[in-house]
Structure 1
Amino acid sequence: METTKTILITGAGSGFGEGAAIGLAQLGHTVIAGVQIYPQVTALREKVKALGLEKNLRVEKLDILDQYDVKNALTWDIDIFFSNAGIGEAGPVFEMPMDLVEKNFQTNVFAPLAISQKFISKWIKAGKKGKIVYTSSMGGLFTPAGFGIYVSTKHALEAIAEALQQEVKPYNIQIQTINPGAYLTGFNETMADAPFRWMDDEVNFTKKADLRATFDSLLGTPEGTLDASEMINAMIEIVPKEEGKFRNVVPQFVEDMLKEHQLNAWENRI
């Protein structure tokens, strides 16, 4: 095993973040699991205690939109910032309320970038090697109808990460993205429910039943409900490593699909 690292993970209250926090701690890394709300703090601390991981896994409240939580987090001495927190707003791009668009970008792009800038500055001033890993998405590399706003945040994150990789390399700071396929964590399913809280068949051109059918065609298949343990295991392997690919798509069949999609995009016609 490589040298153990101190790793801060955001969005560790559920799904990939929680699984990765536990798995990395089990490998001997020192992990700070940042969770959004206080009930998640209590629940995860109980899991940590039951697993006997109190020495390696610390649970802290870290809502990335809370200035006081963020200020506190920036005092921690870490080797790796695993920026995993995010939300998803789905629905037709041409009808989605703009406040929801702004909220999705604030959480998935602006806040992670702001925290990254602060840690990068801290590492450069200290002359310390560091690493930032972003949880992007397969949706950072293609755009299915109905998910345009969410995946546009991931497209933005991909561009930011690619620029950062070039800019901070001279300072011995590494940047990576992890691009999960459609794993069953509850995130995609919750996102698919989100637009129905604002859509109205008497107001919107897009009808609820049609949008639901679109979501079911994407998520209601074996390829849309993959076993999350595969992705968590990949994260546990990728995040602490000092060598590896910049972009990490899992599973392989999704990487192959994305490459084909990107090639076909050159022939896309209106």
Structure 2
Amino acid sequence: MTRTVLITGCSSGIGRASAEAFLEEEWTVYATARNPADIQTLGDHDDCKIATLDVTDGDDIERVVDRILDEEGRIDALVNNAGYGQFGPIEDVPTDTVRDQFEVNVYGPHRLIREVLPAMRRREDGAIVNVSSAAGRVSFPGGGVYCGSKHALEAMSDALRNEVREYGITVSLIEPGPVETGFEDRVESEIDGLDRSGAYESFYDLVEDYDAIGGGGFGAVEPERVAEDVVDAASSTKPPARYPVGPLATVAEIGRLVPTRIADSLWSFASKLS
């Protein structure tokens, strides 16, 4: 029987590459995005259905999940990919903006998970794949809000994995480092919208070139490489809990083991070099 996957955030980057990778493996793919025009060409494939889905809209989520269950009778995998990065010093990021970040990166996946789990539990089968980041393992100056959202997704995934194990459902985290996508364009726009306090100009000087905070450049991987692990996590009967992708993700895995005192000293040294 053909397996079915629901993927969020398919307009570009990891989401689009994942949709194409699942199609190559002959899955039925429900590719979603806030703007259906962004994914129209994916719908040209016979096994790909497209749908409008805003992860902050519970009605959207319910409608799309109900449609898949009506048409396919099952959801074998959910890929929570939709997300964005809100960077900036903690003092300069308004609380409403922090809330917006968590709405998309944390509450969105939570809404989708709650919607698909009843059908997966009834079948005692399914896979939930949450696209996190190396930033979900190690936080850094100027990335507290984004890292916080990914840390939250990691914690929820770790709890969920053991809550649903008895129902035959797997939960995996994809943790890429820098990826060659348009992610940095939105990062720059979010930073430009901040009301700067004037206390952190050294940070803003660094991010004028987004490579300084990991957008592209050294260690960046193609979205197709990340998609390989997404498909593996959805297809394996016993997938790893975490898939670090790229050299900087591996560094982050090691970095989380560094004592806080030493990590703080390293950040202090790095700031002096800038």
2:250 alignment partner, SS class: helix
1:89 is displaced (CA, Å) by 0.8
List alignment gaps of at least 5 residues for structure 1: none
Q: CA RMSD in A?
A: 2.2
Contact kept in structure 2, 1:146 and 1:211, CA below 8 Å: no
Alignment of 1:45-60 (within 5 A): 45-49=40-44, 53-54=45-46, 56-60=47-51
Provide the aligned length of Structure 1 versus Structure 2: 257
- Which residue in the other structure is 2:272 paired with? none
* CA distance, structure 2, for counterparts of residue 7 and residue 182 of structure 1: 25
Residue pair 2:30, 2:49 contacting (<8 A) in 1 also: yes
Q: 1:92 — aligned with what?
A: 89
Residue 23 (structure 1) aligned with residue 21 (structure 2): yes
Contact 1:91/1:211 (8 A) holds in 2: no
Using the size of structure 1 for normalisation, the TM-score is 0.86
User: How many Å separate the matches in 2 of 1:8 and 1:220?
Assistant: 27
Matches within 5 A, 1:118-137: 118-124=115-121, 126-137=122-133
- Give TM-score scaled by structure 2 length: 0.85
1 CA distance for matches of 2:261 and 2:189?
33
Report sequence identity in percent: 26
Q: Supply the AA of the counterpart residue of 2:194.
A: W
- Equivalent position of 1:262 in the other structure: 256
Taking structure 1 as reference, are residues 245 and 11 closer, same or farther at Cα in structure 2, changes over 3 Å only? Answer: same
Tell me if the contact between 1:87 and 1:108 (Cα under 8 Å) persists in the aligned partners: yes
Shift of 1:129: 1.0
Question: Which structure 2 residues correspond to residues 34-49 of structure 1 after superposition, within 5 A?
Answer: 34-40=32-38, 44-49=39-44
- Match in the other structure for 1:204: 198
Query: Superposed, which structure 2 residues align to 1:187-266 within 5 Å?
Result: 187-200=183-196, 203-207=197-201, 209-212=204-207, 215-219=210-214, 222-223=217-218, 225-251=220-246, 253-266=247-260
Instruction: Tell me which stretches of 4 or more aligned residues in structure 1 moved more than 3 Å.
Output: 213-216, 266-270
Conserved in 1, the CA contact under 8 Å of 2:154 and 2:173?
yes
The letter of the residue matching 1:45 is Q
C-alpha contact 2:136 2:147 (8 A) present in aligned 1: yes
Report the AA paired with residue 161 of structure 2.
Q
Q: Deviations over 1:17-51 (max 9, x none)?
A: 011101211220111001112322xxx233442xx
Unaligned ranges ≥5, structure 2: 70-74, 266-274
Distance 1:123 1:47, change over 3 A: closer
Amino acid across the alignment from 2:127: K
**1:228-262 CA distance string (max 9 Å, x none):** 332223323333222221100112x2343123212
1:115 aligns with 2:112: yes
- Asked whether 1:106 is paired with 2:103, we answer yes
Helix, strand or coil at the partner of 1:222: coil
Provide the C-alpha distance between the structure 1 equivalents of 2:215 and 2:151, rounded to a whole number of angstroms: 24
Deviation at 1:110, TM superposition (A): 1.2
Q: Tell whether the 8 Å contact from 2:89 to 2:200 is kept in structure 1 after alignment.
A: yes
Letter paired with 1:188: E
Match of 2:57 in 1: 66
Q: 1:10 aligns with which of 8, 11, 19?
A: 8
Quote how far apart the aligned CAs of 1:267 are.
4.4
Offset at 1:222? 2.8
Q: Distance in 1 between matches of 2:200 and 2:101?
A: 21
Secondary structure of the corresponding residue to residue 144 of structure 1 = coil
The structural deviation recorded for 1:146 is 1.3
Q: Distance in 2 between matches of 1:98 and 1:167?
A: 31
User: 1:62–1:241: structure 2 CA closer, same or farther, 3 Å change rule?
Assistant: same
Contact 1:146-1:215 within 8 A present in 2 as well: no
